[in-house]
Structure 1
Amino acid sequence: MSRFDLRPYQQEFLAAVRRDFREHDHLLGVAATGSGKTILASELMRGWNGNCLFLADAQELVHQNADKFFRYAGEFAGVEMADSKALLGDRVVVATTQSICRRLDKWPRDYFGLVIVDEAHRNTLGAMAAQVLLHFESAKVLGVTATPFRSDRRQLGSFYEKISVEIGLARLIKEGWLSRILIKSVPLPVDLSQVRTTAGDYNEGDLGEAIVPHLRQAARLIAEHAHGRRTVAFLPLIATSQAFVQACHEEGIRAVHVDGNDREGLRAYERGEFDLVSNASLLSTGWDHPPTDCVFILRPTKSLSLFQQMVGRGTRIAEGKENLLLLDPLFLTDDHSLIKPARLIARSQSNAADLSERLSGGGEVDLLEAEESVVQDRESKLAEKLRLTAKRKARTVDAIEFCLSLHAVDAADYEPELSWECKPPSDRQLEALARAGFDTDSIVYRGHASKILDLLFTRRDMKLATPKQLAWLRKTGHPSPETATFDEASEWLSDCFGEGRAV
């Protein structure tokens, strides 16, 4: 992809970041796996007037990101990691946080004007990351994350000043950039209760021991539920992956194992000579084969980014591909840290629990349709809460009711994420909301006021009905109050109440 082929949402992402850097130093951008985060970073660094540092979250991603930047921008990037040493004079440097932290002495504090932090929810708040960001404290910082969880982003609020833009997985699917995802829960009685945790994730050796006795049953699940699909399977160890492929052969499945020592099987899978390719995390990043339309994760994890990366191997669209089937083994554990498919799009723990319940009900369940059902339930609960507790002043607009009327559930059920959002609304915000007819006593957070004003200004620019008009249109049975223009609303309400009625 050249810089002239940027997708609309990528242009939106970059425009928002460039605009917000005029007023803020530390920005957070949310971009789902599959959105082209490397392209976004490359284009931002390509056009930056000064030196840039890209902090990768893992060693295997450093050379990969440096290579992608060269292919995109036609400019070499220095690599700071292990035996590779970037040079003073390199305009763009790609590094792990750990490597550059150990070598800060060689870098002038004002050397980088832009620092991009990949996997920001894990790669910002640690001790080494803090040293690096403090050393380059005059630089603009863009943190990039794929997590939709509010709690993950709230932790980042002590450093990042604003969530500049959010390009979520659900949006990319709805707009046709990524494949629709079907979730099918399948019974596989792997007991994770005795699996230890190492470096924040399940111990791979323990996982291998827990999973090996169930590989033949897992192969049968593939034969039953993924027949005719192109499948990628993830296992915790090379030996476990090899054993799983053998179990697949015994079930008549054309399967091949690949690892770092032998990738010929991967090329054969891409040519269509095999229906399933199995690996131990080798393919979680840096590999895409769009026709792949089934992902089987036999490598349970507590890492959201790893889970997203594994699922992402099947989310690319391809001619003739209708959807991605994500087979979800029902692992036996009470560990709430286990990442489940609901975490791909759920914004909070309660949302994830509600969505997981719908996804595990049996049969193939469309992820977005399940989410829409959860959102409808949230709207109903909020509407009932509003009905029971509303104490609105006469002739004022209730913020929750206004947001619900536009199906802006996240604005109606608002929770602050960044530190500035937790502050009380500014006098200027309260004045603008009061002029629009809102009951300002119910708006307690600056971030909530900002979201409501964004909705209000968008509607004003589109010449749509005002909040007061919208409320009366709903009360008087207008067929489409959300899309009625200001003039249409005025005419309708005049017919209902007469010319002298002020709304």
Structure 2
Amino acid sequence: MKLRPYQIEARERVQAEWAKGNKKTLLVLPTGCGKTIVFSKIIEDRVNMGERVLVLAHRSELLEQASDKLKQATGIGTALEKAESSCLNSFESVVVGSVQTLQRQKRLDLFPPNYFDTIVIDEAHHCISDGYQRVLNHFSGANVLGVTATPDRGDRKSLGSYFDSLAYEYSIVEAIKSGYLSKIKALTIPLNLDLSNVSTQAGDFKAGEVGNALEPYLEQIAQEMLEHCQNRKTVIFLPLVKTSQKMTAILNEKGFRAAEVNGESKDRKEILSDFENNKYNVLCNSMLLTEGWDCPDVDCVVVLRPTKVRSLYSQMVGRGTRLAPNKDHVLVLDFLWHTERHELCRPAYLVSEDEEVQKQMTKITEDNASMALDLEDLESQAVEDVVQQREEALAKQLAEMRKRKRKLVDPLQFEMSIHANDLTNYVPNFGWEMQPPSKAQIEKLEHLGINTDEVGTAGKASMILERLRKRQLQGLATPKQIRCLEQRGFRNVGMWTFENASNMITRIASNGWRIPKGVIPATFDGS
């Protein structure tokens, strides 16, 4: 099986982390980007080294998917460690294991601590729980790979308490731009759903209270779906089974071909198969289909299970982001959830981690309610708005920076010039990220023109170095070019090409380091 370029890079980065001694590392890939294929090839590498590998998951569907993809991608068979099935008498080098089974002390005691050399955790955002930790602590000498979809900042901090490093991350935006995922369009429905009295538990809204708050609105939501979803293949996520069943009944009354599945559905496989074969055009579920289920031609997702957890929201929308023939985009229906104290995940959270950009994107969608907006275009517009607001707020500070006579560029000036909101808002999560920059990082950054006094942490230094590497490959202006030209009044030099910046510096130098006649720095666009 031929891997995509980002999958090859992910595979190499994970192996490199283990080689460096970071025994517990993370791989972040959006839903639909082939994370199971990637970790299957990583497992193949370890098996070829003579290792025994455990794939650990919390649901049967994930174990079956891992086993099937591993066989398909590498030809490697697996043994099962679940309930009555045991791997201990098997000759297979790879075991797929249920955490519910392995966490039991009697079961763990059957395995020597060095039985597994490598452990892969599918849906790694679950691994902080006591059950997972019991298993991982028992096999504490093993290399560990955690695989997850886009985690939010809270998830990253909790994952950072266990994992040593982030080996590789591929964003939804990159995947969409590269043509590996469908475009996402967000449609805000001007329907206010009041959650102000819903309480929280374990960091998210209580499903029971959300269900009760949602029920009075189901009829209106179904009516809105008549206008926007009638000719689409739609998955709806709801907080409770009873809410899901009620919504299904309402939709069928309105002429949809709707079905409902839940954890107790005896005919679940048949219903899912019928939906995939278009017997139904709407599938309602109570959070059952967030993991381990794929139906690429789904082109509409309705999230009626409000959440504060970005990884969960990403999983739900991810049911519609896979590519399929004749599918142009996935439509995400968004509602005006009203809460007094809590920020909810909205479509903006899928493509941006910057809180200001998220808020601006959400404002734009609400100002254009009932109009489907492409999230890529929306983010670009919001970034421009936020950058403009920030530049106005930081104008005096940046003006002082640009006047400084030192040769190196302040990180903030560099970040602002290249519109790198992720650098500006970077928060270290892993232990190594919080340490001071290494001597090698400082030397490399200063060689590339960055003043290291304000970099602060090794994690920030690593991010800046990676951004500089990518900019060099893209042929964009260097920090030293940015500083030289912005000192002379040019703006947004970070968006210029290396060649255009070099040409302008040559013109200035040949003119006695004065601005050439006819050039107005404040309005010059670098072309």
* Alpha-carbon distance in 2 for matches of 1:343, 1:169: 11
Q: Label 1:135 to 1:452 Cα distance change in 2 as closer, same or farther (>3 A).
A: same
Counterpart of 2:125 in structure 1 is: 121
Q: Label 1:120 to 1:269 Cα distance change in 2 as closer, same or farther (>3 A).
A: closer
- 5 Å-filtered alignment, 1:298-447, equals 298-334=304-340, 336=342, 338-361=344-367, 362=369, 363-390=371-398, 391-392=400-401, 393-396=404-407, 397-447=409-459
Shift of 1:406: 3.0
**Aligned-partner residue type, residue 19 of structure 1:** A
- 5 Å-filtered alignment, 1:37-116, equals 37-48=35-46, 49=49, 50-87=51-88, 89-102=91-104, 103-116=107-120
Q: In terms of mean alpha carbon deviation, does 283-292 or 452-461 score higher?
A: 452-461
- 5 Å-filtered alignment, 1:212-227, equals 212-227=215-230
Shift of 1:387: 2.9
For the 8 Å contact 1:148–1:345, the answer to whether it is kept is: no
Q: In terms of mean alpha carbon deviation, does 342-351 or 392-401 score higher?
A: 342-351
* Alpha-carbon distance in 2 for matches of 1:199, 1:464: 45
Q: Secondary structure in 1 aligned to 2:259?
A: strand
* Alpha-carbon distance in 2 for matches of 1:121, 1:268: 31
Deviations 1:384-421 (A, max 9, x none): 45432245441422222223333333224433232222
Counterpart of 1:158 in structure 2 is: 161
Which runs of 5 or more residues in structure 1 are unaligned?
none
Shift of 1:149: 2.7
1:280 equivalent to 2:286? Answer yes
**Aligned-partner residue type, residue 255 of structure 1:** A
Shift of 1:31: 1.0
Shift of 1:348: 5.0
**Aligned-partner residue type, residue 262 of structure 1:** D
Query: RMSD of aligned C-alpha atoms?
Result: 3.2
- 5 Å-filtered alignment, 1:135-146, equals 135-146=138-149
Shift of 1:153: 1.5
Deviations 1:155-177 (A, max 9, x none): 33333232221111121112111
Deviations 1:189-233 (A, max 9, x none): 544445565666545444444433333222111102223222222
For the 8 Å contact 1:269–1:275, the answer to whether it is kept is: yes
Q: In terms of mean alpha carbon deviation, does 470-479 or 421-430 score higher?
A: 470-479
Query: Aligned residue pairs: how many?
Result: 497
* Alpha-carbon distance in 2 for matches of 1:202, 1:210: 11
Q: Label 1:436 to 1:310 Cα distance change in 2 as closer, same or farther (>3 A).
A: closer
For the 8 Å contact 2:354–2:422, the answer to whether it is kept is: no
1:36 equivalent to 2:38? Answer no
Deviations 1:125-164 (A, max 9, x none): 3334333333322222222222343343133333323222
Q: Label 1:348 to 1:90 Cα distance change in 2 as closer, same or farther (>3 A).
A: farther
For the 8 Å contact 2:476–2:494, the answer to whether it is kept is: no
Normalising to structure 1: TM-score of the pair?
0.87
Q: Label 1:494 to 1:232 Cα distance change in 2 as closer, same or farther (>3 A).
A: closer
Q: Secondary structure in 2 aligned to 1:324?
A: strand
For the 8 Å contact 2:360–2:386, the answer to whether it is kept is: no
Q: Label 1:484 to 1:341 Cα distance change in 2 as closer, same or farther (>3 A).
A: closer
Q: Label 1:383 to 1:445 Cα distance change in 2 as closer, same or farther (>3 A).
A: farther
1:236 equivalent to 2:239? Answer yes
* Alpha-carbon distance in 1 for matches of 2:252, 2:214: 18
Q: Label 1:148 to 1:212 Cα distance change in 2 as closer, same or farther (>3 A).
A: closer
* Alpha-carbon distance in 1 for matches of 2:283, 2:503: 63
Q: Label 1:354 to 1:71 Cα distance change in 2 as closer, same or farther (>3 A).
A: same
Q: Secondary structure in 1 aligned to 2:144?
A: strand
Q: In terms of mean alpha carbon deviation, does 82-91 or 195-204 score higher?
A: 195-204
Q: Label 1:460 to 1:64 Cα distance change in 2 as closer, same or farther (>3 A).
A: closer
Deviations 1:425-469 (A, max 9, x none): 223333333344433322222222222233344555677654222
* Alpha-carbon distance in 2 for matches of 1:160, 1:318: 35
For the 8 Å contact 2:354–2:421, the answer to whether it is kept is: no
**Aligned-partner residue type, residue 181 of structure 1:** I
* Alpha-carbon distance in 2 for matches of 1:186, 1:278: 19
Q: Label 1:360 to 1:91 Cα distance change in 2 as closer, same or farther (>3 A).
A: farther
